[in-house]
Structure 1
Amino acid sequence: MTKFIIPLFLLISGSVFSQVAVGTSPESNNRWTFGGGIGLGFGSNSYFNLSATPRVGYKLTNDLEGGVLGSISWQKSNAYSSTMLGVGPFLNYYVARTFYLSANYQHYFINYKDKIYDYKANTNEDALYLGGGYMQRIGNNSYLQLGLMYNVLYKENESIFSSGLVPNIGFVVGL
């Protein structure tokens, strides 16, 4: 499986950087932005996680952007499997195109199956992520974003998530 995933990741990364190189020039009046992130995880007990978070934004001002963010995640291990779909609005404020502050609300639809206890659940959960991070220019109007978010709606022992703290890495084209 690794022989399949690594070339796929490289192909997707190459596609993202290709789009970055031919993106609109900084002088363009296009106010739309596009981006997202891809996640891949491995762990003990045959744990595997694949996730994608596409986003579409609109520059309200030169430093303020609003839009819609989606997410999909597949997780599987010897003990459980789950699928999560999320959607919601986001708002980003950019500070000198070096740092950003972010808020996004996500409503998750979760399908969970515990293989040990033969338990299945279909549930929903809300998250309100607040945070920020650093931006690195990688093209004319394209950036790599590295940040940290916290789900202020997270409640220990009530949430499907293991923590309220979420690191994130993503790309944005159109800023």
Structure 2
Amino acid sequence: MKKILTLSFIAISIFCFSQIAMSPQTSANRWTFGGGLGLGFGSNSSFNLQVSPRVGYKITDQLEGGMIGNVSWQTSDFYKSTMFGIGPFANYYFARSFFVGANLQQYFINSTEKYNNYKYSTDETALYLGGGYMQSMGNNAFMQLGIMYNVLWKENNSIFSTGFVPTVGFVVGL
């Protein structure tokens, strides 16, 4: 249960703190930018830092596609690890306040146990489907709150403790 709660808090914090500085969008500009910066703390001196940039393109006023990446550094009394992820995403916006989306991520993980120096490397593919709510922050900037589920997640065959991921992100250009 501790693992699930800790990983849930880490997942929530992934996108919680983000800043993007850019000029207001012109009507001809269909590019969107966003991302997040997350921090997580837990028992056994665990610490997590994650950076998640995203770049999108508005195909129509309601449909956006693009690429999202992330890098995560984790450490505790027992291990240290680095995880990289990259992949395409698509979001469909409706009623100017809601969205549904899909995100395919390919993760690459390197981990080292601190006591015996055992090194472990693996990769995993995740297909997240979900949706959520958008709150306008002015000048075509939005905060997105939602939940995604990894439909490829298998309990005994995944580096992640659950398939559900709460999301908080910031996007400029919508």
TM value normalised by structure 1: 0.85
Structure-2 residue corresponding to 1:47: 46
Structure-1 residue corresponding to 2:155: 156
Q: Deviations over 1:53-82 (max 9, x none)?
A: 101100010000000010111111111111
Structure-1 residue corresponding to 2:169: 170
- Hey, what's the Cα distance between the residues in 2 that align with 1:165 and 1:70? 18
3-state SS in 2 of match to 1:138: strand
Structure-2 residue corresponding to 1:4: none
- 1:136 and 2:99 equivalent? no
Structure-2 residue corresponding to 1:96: 95
Structure-2 residue corresponding to 1:56: 55
Between the two proteins, the alignment pairs up a number of residues equal to: 158
- Hey, what's the Cα distance between the residues in 1 that align with 2:129 and 2:81? 25
Name which of structure 1's ranges 117-126 and 94-103 shifts more when overlaid on structure 2: 117-126
> Could you list the runs of 5+ residues in structure 2 that have no partner in the other structure?
1-16
Structure-1 residue corresponding to 2:37: 38
Q: Deviations over 1:57-116 (max 9, x none)?
A: 000100000000101111111111110001100000001220110100000111011224
Structure-2 residue corresponding to 1:24: 25
Identity %: 63
- 1:69 and 2:98 equivalent? no
After TM superposition, the runs of 4+ consecutive aligned structure 1 residues lying more than 3 A away are none
8 Å contact from structure 1 (residues 32, 59) kept in 2: yes
- Hey, what's the Cα distance between the residues in 2 that align with 1:73 and 1:54? 12
- Hey, what's the Cα distance between the residues in 2 that align with 1:101 and 1:89? 15
- Hey, what's the Cα distance between the residues in 2 that align with 1:160 and 1:86? 13
- Hey, what's the Cα distance between the residues in 1 that align with 2:90 and 2:151? 16
- Hey, what's the Cα distance between the residues in 2 that align with 1:141 and 1:36? 15
Structure-2 residue corresponding to 1:87: 86
C-alpha displacement of 1:121: 0.9
Q: What do you get for the CA RMSD once the two structures are aligned? A: 1.4
> Could you list the runs of 5+ residues in structure 1 that have no partner in the other structure?
1-11
3-state SS in 2 of match to 1:161: coil
Q: Deviations over 1:11-46 (max 9, x none)?
A: x85x52x43xx3225xx1211101011111011100
8 Å contact from structure 1 (residues 74, 84) kept in 2: yes
Structure-2 residue corresponding to 1:120: 119
- Hey, what's the Cα distance between the residues in 2 that align with 1:29 and 1:78? 51
8 Å contact from structure 1 (residues 127, 154) kept in 2: yes
C-alpha displacement of 1:120: 1.2
C-alpha displacement of 1:145: 0.5
